[in-house]
Amino acid sequence: MTPWQLRLATKIIHRGGIIAYPTEAVFGLGCDPLDFNAVETICQLKNRSLSKGLILIASDLEQVRPFTSATPAQLRKLETKTSTPTTWIMPAHPHCPRWLTGKHQGIAIRITKHPIAQQLCEQLGHALVSTSANISNHPAARTALDVQRIFAENVDMILHADTGGYHQASEIRDVRSNRILRPG
């Protein structure tokens, strides 16, 4: 990805747009997590209920602090090295938007290790919605071409690059119990 593409993707997100980008295992659809209209559009594209909640990715802990009331020990788990990408369910901050948590009390957060997703979050200066690029209950897109086939002109930009090579979506764990909610 070129610096120009990164700047363009950032501008699109800041204007309320939706992008598709590679993550550790699949392509994700992303937008500004504080933009309800963009989040709602993603859920409509995916045929996904807002009540399910969404994952946020970030490049560092500072980007997720506004969304969670996790303790320092819980936050450190976000930076723990694991054999597969791990998304943690953290206690949601009382002011965290319901369109991010859905019907849940927690917020799903991952510190991404994918270089493009990291650069995107760094350039934005904040966390990014990250939901798999698929129609609900269908396989997730693994290439930019897959995204194009599924969403055609319904996303504002597709970042053409490889995923991180993992074959499973991220593991999801509860930070309080350490229980695996979705194997990775």
Domains parsed from the chain with CATH numbers: 3-182 (3.90.870.10)
Separation CA 28–CA 62 (nearest Å): 22
Q: How far, in Å, CA of 113 to CA of 115, rounded?
A: 6
**Ordered per-residue pLDDT tens for the chain, 184 residues:** 889 999 999 999 999 999 999 999 999 999 999 999 999 999 999 999 999 999 999 999 999 999 999 999 999 999 988 888 999 999 999 999 999 999 999 999 999 999 999 999 999 999 999 999 999 999 999 999 999 999 988 999 999 999 999 988 899 999 999 999 998 8
Query: Long-range contacts for 145-150 (Cβ within 8 Å, ≥24 apart)?
Result: 146/27, 147/20, 147/27
